[in-house]
Amino acid sequence: MKNALISVSDKRGIEVFAKRLEQMGIKIFSTGGTAKILTEAGVPVTQVATYTGFPEMMDGRVKTLHPKVHGGLLGVRSNEKHMNSMVEHGIVPFDLVVVNLYPFRETIAKPGVTREQAVEQIDIGGPAMVRSAAKNHESVTVIVDPTDYNRVTDSLERTGATSIQLREELAAKAYFHTAGYDLAITSYLSGGKYAGFSGERIATCKYGENAWQAPAHLYSTGTPDPLALDKFAVIEGAPPSYNNWCDIDRLLQTATHISEGYAINEDVGTAIAIGVKHGNPCGAAAGPDRAEVVKKMMAGDPLAIFGGLVMTNFEVDEALCRTLSGKMLDGIIAPAFTEGAIALLRRKGDKCRFVVNPALNGLVGKLDRTPRFRFVRGGFLMQPNYTFVPDFGRGEIVKHGKATPAQERDMVLAWAIGSTSNSNTITLVKNEQLIGNGVGQQDRVGAANLAITRARRSGHDLSGAAAYSDSFFPFPDGPQTLIEAGVTAIFTSSGSVKDQATIDLCAKHGVALYMVPDQAGRGFFGH
């Protein structure tokens, strides 16, 4: 390897990388800001403009779009005519190309950015160089990601070259890089008429939802979101299954809504523990005492939690692990685990996975605001994510009767669980403990009866419980069912022609009824 062309927007680690190349006797060509940084770092650089004899112009729009650049990228080394043309025209063969693109996605994410500012961040020369180098990967190594620097330099220092397998892998990654970039530009310029997504495979599951659906894979879109699934690490146990990944995603949706709801309505740090089975919470609790929160979560629905996943927003120690190990769990997800907890799992020989992500420590302000996609036959649906959070101190929520502070906390917890469960849903909470979750029903009375049945099956006393309904009650029969079971506070939406009948019923029985307009806060999820 003799010649490298380096021109990057993301300049992480570029000085160290270039110095290693220079020490191996590789000549470096560069442009603009990259050349300036490398020169200041003491790395000898040949300006591309000096090499081509053609100056950068038009505010940097034109600098690498030149035959002496692309000839050096595209020339086939085994083709005699190509090589003769390169010699004839003084074209340097580039063996290594290091390019990443103008920060278009970062620019359009900034508040108040103008269309002119966005358009100026559409890279032309960068994608052209990347695609040229990737096409000629038989001879050229292309890097678009700083995390690949060491892989390349280690290979060069060890063997003096890069393998065809590595060049092919990096070429594919380069096309993935430009494809995602073009997709972002397309979506922006079309105002969303054209949309899509792409991802990098980061995990393979033994099978999908069923054993015969094999294999299954987890892909990452490359988001910097600290709660993205690619940021979770298994520190003990088998890799998560397809269903495990689905449940972790649902746990995050529920946990962030609980945290946000508590923060808005009482502004205190709250310990949270949630159990999920087949995509729906079957245990949840919140409060100041971590040990008590874990006990209450596990006792919410002891039958349903068997084989489920548990997530906490606090470190799990050996004592908490003993409580959690009372039931067979598929996994525990937490910001951290103590050595004692890990050692206990090893001693017991459980199949339970320990999955860690430090970002779970602070969930306030971390609602997922990215659009939600759902594949349908022949295409996909896209909608904004569910990000509503009720604020009981605002006029948006109409209060019929006054709930106690304890009841309001229960309603917040019930809302967060119910609005992130498969609709239709009625959720019952008492003393900051989920006691019954009636999910996925076709009618609201059926959801209420299911929640009540599950609560009673687990031995819970419903007297004084709070209920959440993910949409309005079309008739007062749903609230009647809940009141007869012992519910004393209900949070729901309004919008039914029978709203007044529900209001009158709750007033008659002294039940606090909080209502948010259906168009503002309906909690349908998971259709």
Token pair for residue 343?
């050692």
Q: How many CB atoms lie within 10 A of CB 219?
A: 14
**Residue 415: what residue type?**
W
CA angle 266, 272, 278 (to 5 degrees): 125
Give the residue among 281, 279, 269 at the shortest CA–CA distance from 314: 269
The residues that bridge with 468 in the sheet, in sequence order, are 427, 491
Cis amide leading into 215 (omega within 30) = yes
User: CA-CA distance, 393 to 261, in Å (whole number)?
Assistant: 12
User: CA-CA distance, 51 to 32, in Å (whole number)?
Assistant: 13
Strands 216-220 and 200-205: antiparallel
CA angle 94, 98, 101 (to 5 degrees): 130
User: CA-CA distance, 485 to 505, in Å (whole number)?
Assistant: 14
CA-based radius of gyration for the chain: 29
Active-site residue set: 135, 278
Give the DSSP letter of residue 148.
G
Give the DSSP letter of residue 468.
E
User: CA-CA distance, 379 to 386, in Å (whole number)?
Assistant: 21
CA angle 7, 9, 11 (to 5 degrees): 90
* Cα dihedral: 100, 101, 102, 105 (round 10): -110
